[in-house]
Amino acid sequence: MRQFYYPRTEAEAADIVRSHIASKMPLRIAGGNTRALIGHPVAAEYGLRSTSLSGILAYNPAEMVMTARAGTPVREIEAALAERNQMLAFEPMDHRGVLGTSGEPTIGGLFAVNSSGPRRLTAGAARDHLLGIRFVNGRGEAIKAGGRVMKNVTGLDLVKLLAGSHGTLGFLTEVTFKVLPAQAETETVLVSGLGEAEAAIAMATAMALPVEVSAAAHLPFTVRHRFLGNRLPDGAATIFRLEGLKASVKARLQTLVSALAGFGPVSRIAAPESRMLWQEVRDCRAYADGTSRALWRISVAPSAGHRIVAALRLEAGVDACYDWQGGLVWMRMEADPEADMLRRLIKAAGGGHATLIRASEAVRASVPVFEPQAPAVAALSARVKAALDPDGIFNPGLMYQEKGER
Amino acid sequence: MGETIRFLTPKAPVLSRRDVIIADLRELVPAECLVHDERALVPFETDGFIAYRRRPLCVALPGTTAEVAALLKYCHRYQIPVVPRGAGTSLSGGAIPEEDAVVICLSRMNRILEVDAANRTATVQAGVTNLSISDRVGPEGFFYAPDPSSQLACTIGGNIGMNSGGAHCLKYGVTTNNLLGVKMVLADGEVIELGGKALDSGGYDLLGLVCGSEGQLGIVTEATVRILARPEGARPVLFGFETPEDAGACVSAIIASGIIPVAIEFMDREAIAICEAFAHAGYPLDVGALLIVEVEGSEAEMEAMLQSIIAIARGFGVKTVKESQSAMEAAAIWKGRKSAFGATGRIADYICMDGTVPLGQLSHVLKRTGEIVSGHGLRVANVFHAGDGNMHPLILYDINDPEEAKKAEAAGNDILKLCVEAGGCLTGEHGVGIEKRDLMRFQFAEADLQQQMAVRAAFDPGWLLNRSKVFPLEGRPE
């Protein structure tokens, strides 16, 4: 990288983008750079970073909405929310552990990768909480989309489109998002020793109960020791989280425990340890291992996750753990990423997608990091990209290779 | 009524070829699924926004995705405008046809294709009604959360088009938060699938873009939605307050306390009087505003939450507290609210606005709404979802009095501008349609609108799909 720009205003950012359109020099878009290793390597000599666009602009707890500049550290946002007993309900993942990066994750970066944790299963993803954005498009124009109210169907929802677009469609300058009251009580129910198929059934059973389980994950015996400093009971751990007002959690706990008793030994983890455990699940503690061994993030129907892993195990050395009732699989490869085989298995199991979230630069340069799309969808996505970034100035090739590249 | 909202000029070459087009379309759908007789077209002339009507070229009622694809391919080839339609319950004119348009109505595609209990999904055809999903999955202990007032009639395809909400979206979100995947046909007849049973989709979030796009990006033929475990019970409590300000402050305080009820509904004095006269629900008539707050869960949970909520309400000088001790009493509390639109329709014609404002602006916007409407010499009743700031002022007028109709439309426009100025938006759940199209420039700058239109054109470069809707007719890209 030859140079990083750190614009202090949206207008400055727009100027930089316009000058790069003129010179046809692409820009590497980033916030705190903690998730910069996700995606294909980007061939850009210049970087445009949001970290000098920082600060909370508006926060009214009674309205449950916050507006912040895109480069505001997530840590600062979470501290401000905690002070008023509120939270980001989608539990954004901190990728530093698995990617081995340092620096401060920013609120803009978090929405740019649509990063959601265990509560995504019941509370929605980052994109569901993003109400409005400001961004600079690939024409160098400052654009506003969405707003700051929870119900808004005025015009096309460009907010969702930009969320999860990994900086390939625009440079976020400001985000407005929904926040929710923090949970007064947290309890975890743990079932020990289940195989992956049994765990899938136990999780589906729990999620069908009217007890509002807010998260369900399965930590196989190969990774169990990495959580809570190896203090979880022996064997695989299938874990269920109950949250809410004290009286609610107490009432639901009994129903849940009795429904799970038939599956295996049931134990409980109380609030402080519970919170830590789910934070470790959120950040994929199992594979925050300091290596760059290929790590897949697979998103499929909850009942399909373990089947795909079982089928792949017959062909390759893999290790996996599960969140989102089994629908989010973190899978670490012993050797090759086996992208083609994995994607064939996903298709055969009813569809979904796999993202190679971590791999060496050489691997990320040759293996499709994001799920290849059907031709018609790929063509449509390319047209959408062109509608926002006609000259391909932002993060070229990070998600998909563009026409004429390489 | 004098029309103030313009439609695009019909394409003369299309109008002149009407007979040929109808003959050609007969090859694409069964004869009984093509409506072209003048009298048979009348029911398709308008939707829930009845002040405007247009007779379409013809109406096709396809039974399969392949038929939808064939129809769109044909219309694309000859550049014939298309207006998608579900049950025609749009309140913003989203399904109102045009003289040169083929209406593609999905009402025959009404099968529930699969209920997957383990993954808690239902896959349905687009013409399935909203309520029938909950009816179908109910015996297994599930429900489909978004519940627009028209849920008995409106279709999932229409819900996706308008990103519909409902009374319970405070807790469960709107359509976009409950939609996992679609099969859809693009303007050129290409069939694509977006999402599926996984919780998030790979690549760009085109599904998020399609939801709420008002039939401009393609025609959805199938949808996979999330179904949720049905709570053990639900119980409402009714509060009467001296003033709307007290009620508004109470809403903020409940939310600030960390309790998220499933619904918080607000009614003002006018709405209370109208609903009570109609439904005899036992609403207090001596209060300035009423809140219905509903909580869900087990008996113990509901009791604990309601007691906390009641304690908060007492802090705002609540005059009436009505707890429901039985299912019958609960139903009575909801009966008045649920009959609000019908009851209002009995005493006057009305137009229903749909702006959303930040919660902190509720009192101010309510007060100004009253002033705006009385300034036009009309009356207004307010019934709305207070928890999410989505306001529904009903402006009462006489549809047969052209002067009053004009005043009502003007008052409505002023209210929507007020909502935008207060930091809100033109429409929370009804959509832009034709109704709010010409107000879009109050909410968006030119570059914002041009960006949206460029994305729209990535899906439908020829602007054939529902082309008179959403975006102001002036200043569209060439």
Q: What ipTM was estimated for this complex? A: 0.97
Any A CB within 8 A of B426 CB: yes
CATH number of this structure's domain B348-421:
3.30.70.2740
Residues 6+ apart with CB under 8 A from A106: A31, A32, A50, A51, A54, A70, A71, A72, A73, A74
* Structure tokens belonging to residue B32: 């009984």
Comparison of pLDDT for B338 and A367, the residue scoring more: A367
Distance between CA atoms of A365 and A22, rounded to whole angstroms? 28
**What pLDDT is stored for residue A404 in this prediction?**
44
Domain limits of chain B? 12-105, 112-229, 233-340, 348-421
Please list the ranges in chain B whose pLDDT falls under 50. Answer: 1
Task: Answer yes or no: are the C-beta atoms of A26 and A392 closer than 8 Å.
Answer: yes
Any A CB within 8 A of B363 CB: no
Task: Answer yes or no: are the C-beta atoms of B228 and B142 closer than 8 Å.
Answer: yes
If one counts every other C-beta atom within 10 angstroms of the C-beta of residue A144, the result is: 18
| pLDDT range class, residue A406, cuts 50, 70, 90 | very low
Distance between CA atoms of B465 and B102, rounded to whole angstroms? 10
CATH topology (fold) of A286-366: Alpha-Beta Plaits (3.30.70)
The separation between the first and the last C-alpha atoms of chain B, rounded to the nearest angstrom, is 32
Nearest-CA distance from A249 to chain B in Å? 8
Any B CB within 8 A of A150 CB: yes
CATH topology (fold) of A48-181: 3.30.465
Domain limits of chain A? 48-181, 185-283, 286-366
Collect all residues of chain B within an 8 Å Cβ-Cβ radius of residue A383. Answer: 458-459
| pLDDT tens profile B42-61 | 999 999 988 899 999 999 99
Question: Does B233-340 match B348-421 in CATH topology?
Answer: yes
Mean pLDDT of A199-206: 98
Torsion-angle region of B453 (φ positive above 0: left; ψ -120 to 50: alpha; else: beta):
alpha
Residues 6+ apart with CB under 8 A from B192: A374, A376, A377, A380, B183, B184, B185, B186, B218
Interface list for B 207-226 with A (CB within 8 A) = 207-209, 211-213
Question: Does A48-181 match A286-366 in CATH topology?
Answer: no
Size of interface A-B (CB pairs under 8 A): 278
| pLDDT tens profile A297-345 | 999 999 999 999 999 999 999 999 999 999 999 999 999 999 999 999 9
Collect all residues of chain B within an 8 Å Cβ-Cβ radius of residue A207. Answer: 120, 229
Cβ of B119 within 8 Å of Cβ of A181? The answer is no
Any B CB within 8 A of A124 CB: yes
Cβ of A380 within 8 Å of Cβ of B459? The answer is yes
Collect all residues of chain A within an 8 Å Cβ-Cβ radius of residue B232. Answer: 210
Cβ of B444 within 8 Å of Cβ of A155? The answer is yes
Tell me yes or no: is domain B12-105 CATH 3.40.50.300. no
Question: Which H/E stretch holds residue B239?
Answer: strand B233-241
Give the one of A207, A377, A381 whose C-beta lies nearest to B229's C-beta. Answer: A207
CATH number of this structure's domain B233-340:
3.30.70.2190
Any A CB within 8 A of B285 CB: no
Query: Mean pLDDT, chain A, as a whole number?
Result: 96
**What pLDDT is stored for residue B326 in this prediction?**
87
Distance between CA atoms of A118 and B262, rounded to whole angstroms? 22
If one counts every other C-beta atom within 10 angstroms of the C-beta of residue B108, the result is: 17
Any B CB within 8 A of A362 CB: no
Give the one of A137, A152, A324 whose C-beta lies nearest to B199's C-beta. Answer: A324
Cβ of A245 within 8 Å of Cβ of B429? The answer is no
Distance between CA atoms of B302 and B296, rounded to whole angstroms? 6
Nearest-CA distance from B200 to chain A in Å? 7
Q: CA neighbours within 13 Å on the CB side: how many for B307?
A: 7
Distance between CA atoms of A90 and A75, rounded to whole angstroms? 15
Interface list for B 327-356 with A (CB within 8 A) = 356
Closest CA to A109 of A10, A29, A44, A11: A29
CATH number of this structure's domain A185-283:
3.30.70.2190
Nearest-CA distance from A61 to chain B in Å? 7
Distance between CA atoms of B23 and B9, rounded to whole angstroms? 24
CATH topology (fold) of B112-229: 3.30.465
Closest CA to B428 of B380, B465, B386: B386
For the residues of B131-179, what is the DSSP string, one character each? HHHHHHHGGGTEE-----TTTTT-BHHHHHHHT---TTHHHH--HHHHE
Distance between CA atoms of A277 and A219, rounded to whole angstroms? 11
**What pLDDT is stored for residue B2 in this prediction?**
62
